[in-house]
Amino acid sequence: MRTILITSGTKGGTGKTTIAINIAVVLAYELRNKAQYPVVLLDLGIDSGTATMLLLGDVETRLPYTLTDYLMGRIPDPLSTLYVKTWQVGDETFKLVFTASLGQYPSQVRIDRYLLRGLINAVSAVSPLYVIMDSPALGLSYDTLTTLLEASDNVILVSIPDHSSLRAVGNVANLMREMKVSNKLLRPILNMLNIKYPMDALSNLPWTRLVKDMVGVEPHVIPYDELFPIVRQALEIESLKLSFYESPALDAIFKYIDYLMETAPP
* Confidence check: pLDDT of 102 > 80: no
Which domains occur in the chain, in start order?
2-263 (3.40.50.300)
Alpha helices in the chain (DSSP H): 16-30, 50-56, 67-71, 113-123, 142-151, 163-178, 207-215, 227-233, 238-241, 248-263
Considering the chain, what percentage of its residues have pLDDT values greater than 90?
73
**pLDDT tens by residue, 38-78:** 999 999 877 667 888 889 877 667 788 888 889 888 899 99
Higher model confidence: residue 112 or residue 34?
A: 34
Encode burial over 243-263: b for 16+ CB neighbours within 10 A, e otherwise. eeeebbbbbbbbebbeebbee
Lowest pLDDT segment from 14-23, 66-75, 191-200, 241-250: 66-75
- Lowest model confidence (mean pLDDT) among 38-52, 118-132, 227-241: 38-52
Per-residue pLDDT of 185-212, as tens digits, reads: 999 999 999 999 999 999 999 999 999 9
Q: What pLDDT was estimated at residue 89?
A: 83
Could you tell me the pTM of the whole model?
A: 0.95
pLDDT at residue 256, rounded to an integer: 98
Q: Is 213 helix (H, G, I), strand (E, B) or coil?
A: helix
CB 126 within 8 A of CB 37: yes
